[in-house]
Amino acid sequence: KAVDPALEEIRQRLLCVKHKIVVLSGKGGVGKSTFTAHLAHGIASDEAKQVAILDVDICGPSIPRIMGLEGEQVHQSGSGWSPVYVEDNLGVMSVGFLLNSPDDAVIWRGPKKNGIIKQFLRDVDWGDLDYLVVDTPPGTSDEHLSVVQYLKAAGVDGALIITTPQEVSLLDVRKEINFCKKVKLPILGVVENMSGFVCPKCQHETQIFPPTTGGAEQMCKDMNVPFLGRIPLDPRIGQSCDVGKSYLTEVPDSPATAAFKEIITSI
Ligand code: ADP
C-alpha cells in the first residue's frame, strides 16, 4: 500500500513541536475538553512555555467556548493557517473556527473528517511549541485513527485518558486503553474527574458518581497503566468554562485547582 505523502509533510511541520499529547475519553461529558483546556492553561502559566490546543472534536467542538474564543475565525498567513491566540504563548485551532455559527452542526463523513485533521496537522503554522495538546471526540472513531496515525509519524508522547469514577465510564475507558495498546499509542495516564463533591456549607464529601468497582485507580492497577490523580466536582469549573476563563486563575485556592496543578506537573 502506498504511503500517504501527508505523513512526511506532517512530520516536517511538527518538527518544531517538542511534545504532542492526545486527550481521550470513553464517554462524552466526563470533562475531557475541560481537562484539555486547563492542561493548556496550566502549561501556559509558565511564560517560558509555548502551548497550543488542537480541537478535533469535529461534531462537538467545545474548546472555542471554553477558551473564550467563540466567533473567532481562522486566519490564513503565508505559511499556513494561523491559530487563534488566547495569550502570546497559548494558541488554539478548532473546527469550531470554521463554522459560521456555534449552533451549526457538522455533518461530515469519515474521509472529510480525516481530511480536516490532516489539514490541521499539516497546514497550521504552530510556530515553536513545547506542547501541542489534541482534544478528540469521545470514544474510538475514525478521527482517532487519523490523529494517531498522523501524530505517530511525527513522534507522539502519548495519550491522557479522562474518566469519571462511575463504572459506565470506566467500562468505556478499558476499551480506550485497549485501543491505545492496539495502535501502539503510549498511555501517559488516566485522570479521574468529577471525583467527589465537598459541600460548601457543611464540608461533607459526597461521591456523586460512586465507584462500585474501585474507581479509576483500581482499574489502572488492574490494567497496568499510570493513574495520575483525581479532580473533584466544583460548579465553579463549569462557570469559568462558560465565560471562557481559566478556573485555575479564577479560583486559585480550591482543592480542584490544587488537583489540576498536581496532575499537570506530573505529566
Ligand atoms: P467532554 O469534553 O468529556 O464531553 P466537558 O469538558 O465538556 O466534557 O465537560 C462536561 C461538563 O462538565 C461541562 O459543563 C463542564 O463544565 C463540566 N465539568 C467538567 N469537569 C468538572 C468538574 N470537575 N466539576 C464540575 N463540572 C465539571
* CA 43–ligand 1 middle distance (angstroms): 20
Does 265 fall in a domain? no
* CA 163–ligand 1 middle distance (angstroms): 11
Closest CA to 261 of 29, 42, 53: 42
Closest CA to 93 of 55, 57, 67, 130: 55
The enclosing domain of 245 has a CATH number of 3.40.50.300
Q: Specify the pairing of strand 227-231 against strand 80-82.
A: unpaired
Does 83 fall in a domain? yes
Instruction: Answer for the pair 31, 162: CB distance below 8 angstroms, yes or no.
Output: yes
Does 46 fall in a domain? yes
Total count of domains within the chain: 1
Q: What atom in ligand 1 is closest to the CA of residue 34?
A: 6
Does 264 fall in a domain? no
Does 21 fall in a domain? yes
Answer yes or no: is the C-beta of 140 below 6 A from any ligand 1 atom.
Answer: no
* CA 260–ligand 1 middle distance (angstroms): 13
pLDDT along the chain (267 residues), means of 10: 88 96 96 98 98 92 95 86 96 89 72 89 95 95 92 96 95 95 97 92 87 90 97 96 97 96 97
Give the ipTM: 0.99
Q: Looking at the whole model, is its pTM more than 0.80?
A: yes
Does 82 fall in a domain? yes
Answer yes or no: is the C-beta of 25 below 6 A from any ligand 1 atom.
Answer: yes
Answer yes or no: is the C-beta of 214 below 6 A from any ligand 1 atom.
Answer: no
* CA 241–ligand 1 middle distance (angstroms): 9
pLDDT of amino acid 203: 80
Q: Which domain holds residue 153?
A: 5-259
Q: What atom in ligand 1 is closest to the CA of residue 62?
A: 7
Does 124 fall in a domain? yes
Sign of CA dihedral 70, 71, 76, 77: negative
pLDDT of amino acid 79: 84
Does 266 fall in a domain? no
